[in-house]
Amino acid sequence: MIEVRDVTKRYGTTVALDRVSFQVEQGRILGFLGPNGAGKSTTMKIITTFLAPDSGRVTVGGIDVLERPLAVRGRIGYLPENVPLYHDMIVDEYLEFVGRARGLDGSRLRQRFEFCVDTCGLQGELKKHIGELSKGYRQRTGLAQALIHDPDILILDEPTSGLDPLQIIEIRQLISRLAGEKTVIFSTHILQEVSPVTDRVVIINEGQVVADGLIGELTERAMGDNRVFVGVRRAAAEVEPALRELARLSELRVLTTTDPGVCRFELRAPFRHDLVGAVAELAGARGWPLDELHESRYSLEDTFIALTRASGAKREVA
C-alpha cells in the first residue's frame, strides 16, 4: 500500500534520511518510532508529497509521489506535527474549508462533516474560534481535518504530543478503531504509545531504519534471551543443582536475599522458551514452596535503547 524504497533526503550538508526503506500493507497500522530528530517527520512529509526525496522512490497505492502527487494527496489524510489550524477561524468553518478544498460538496460534505465531528468528539466546540481551543481539542480538530475526505491512508505525525493521559488514550482508541479499514502510519517518540495500538513498528535513528518488524520479534533480536527470577523457601544447596538440570538454561546466577529462609536465582533461557512453566513444574514435582516466580519482560523501551545504541555504535566504528 505504502512503499518507501531507498529514500535519501539532505538538508544542505546534513543527511536527514539515508536510504530509508519500509512498507505498510493495506489496512495495517504502523508505529513509526525514533528519537527526536531521527527523520520521522521528514519521511512523512515525503510520503505526503510535501517534500520531494533527493533519491529513492515512494509509492502510495502503487502511485509514485513524484509522478502524480495530486492523486496521492487525494488518498491521504495528513496530520502534520504542527497541527495546521487557522487560529482566526471557527471550528466548523475550518472543517468545511478543508472539506471543500479536498473536493467535497453538498450532502457528501455534510455527511463527512458530521462523521468527523462525531468521531473526534467536537460537538461542543463547533462554534468556537480555533485560537480559543485547548491543546486536546486542537489535536482533535487536526485529526478531524485529516479524516474529512474519508482517505484510505492516514499519516499522523506525533498525534498524541502534548496531550494529557486521558486524551492520549482517546486518540489511541480512535486510531485502533480505524484499523482494518484504513492504512495508518503514526509516529511517536513515546514508546508506550505503540503497543496498545499496533504490534508493527519501524524504528528509525539518525536517518536510518534500525529495525522493522513486529515488536516481539524485535525484542527477541535485540535482547537475545529471557530472564526469570525464582525464589524458593528452601536451602540453596538443595535447589540450585535441580535448577541447573533444567533444559535449555543458558545462565544461572545466585542472588542475595534478605530473608535467610529463602534462596533466590536469576535464570536465563532463549527468548521463546517457556522457562517460567518449566520452573513451576519442577517446584511442583519437588514440593518446593515458591516465594517468587516471575519473568522479567523486556519493554519496548529496552528494545528501543538497545537497537538505537547498536546503530549509533556501528556508525562510530565505521
Partner 1 sequence: MRSVGVIFRREFAAYFNSPIAYIFIIVFLLLTSVLFMLNFFLMGQASMMGYFGTLPLLLVFFIPAVSMRLWAEDRRQGTFELLMTLPMRPHQVMLGKYLAALAFFAVALAGSLPIPIMLNALGNPDNGVLVSGYLGSLLMGAVYLSVGIFTSGLMRDQISAFILGVMACVIMWLLGQPNTAAVIDGWLAGLGSMLQQYLGMTSHFEPMTQGVIALGDVVYFLALSGLFLVLNALWLEGRKY
Of 86, 181, 253, 254, the one binding partner 1 (CB under 8 A) is 86
Residues 195, 192: Cα–Cα separation, whole Å: 6
Of 61, 84, 121, 213, the one binding partner 1 (CB under 8 A) is 84
Judged by CB, which is closer to partner 1: 103, or 196? 103
- Binders of partner 1 in range 98-137 (CB under 8 A): 98, 100-103
Q: Which residues have CB under 8 Å from 206's CB, separation 6+?
A: 18, 38, 39, 311, 312, 315
What's at 1, amino acid-wise? M
Residues 71, 271: Cα–Cα separation, whole Å: 45
Of 46, 83, 144, 267, the one binding partner 1 (CB under 8 A) is 83
Cell numbers given for 254: 545466585
Contact predicate 264/257, CB 8 Å? yes
Tell me how far, at minimum, the Cβ of 50 lies from partner 1, in Å.
Answer: 5
Give the DSSP per-residue string, 231-250.
EESS-HHHHHHHHHTSTT--
Judged by CB, which is closer to partner 1: 153, or 203? 153
Judged by CB, which is closer to partner 1: 45, or 268? 45
Binding mask 14-53 for partner 1 (x = CB under 8 A): -------------------------------x--xxxxx-
Tell me how far, at minimum, the Cβ of 294 lies from partner 1, in Å.
Answer: 46
Reduce the DSSP state of residue 290 to 3 states and report it.
strand
Of 1, 15, 89, 310, the one binding partner 1 (CB under 8 A) is 89
What's at 219, amino acid-wise? T
Per-residue DSSP letter, 256:
P
Tell me how far, at minimum, the Cβ of 7 lies from partner 1, in Å.
Answer: 15
Tell me how far, at minimum, the Cβ of 181 lies from partner 1, in Å.
Answer: 21
What's at 308, amino acid-wise? T
- Binders of partner 1 in range 56-75 (CB under 8 A): 70-71, 73-74
- Binders of partner 1 in range 141-160 (CB under 8 A): 145
Q: Among all chains, which residue has been given the C-alpha cell 489524510?
A: 77
Q: Among all chains, which residue has been given the C-alpha cell 478543508?
A: 98
Helix (H) or strand (E) holding 45: helix 40-47
What's at 16, amino acid-wise? A
Judged by CB, which is closer to partner 1: 126, or 276? 126
Reduce the DSSP state of residue 67 to 3 states and report it.
coil
Tell me how far, at minimum, the Cβ of 46 lies from partner 1, in Å.
Answer: 11
Residue 91 binds to partner 1 (criterion: CB under 8 A): no
Residues 52, 7: Cα–Cα separation, whole Å: 10
Judged by CB, which is closer to partner 1: 62, or 241? 62
Sheet strands side by side (includes 263-270):
251-255, 263-270, 225-232, 290-296
Binding stretches for partner 1 (CB under 8 A)? 11, 45, 48-52, 70-71, 73-74, 76, 78, 80, 82-89, 93, 97-98, 100-103, 145
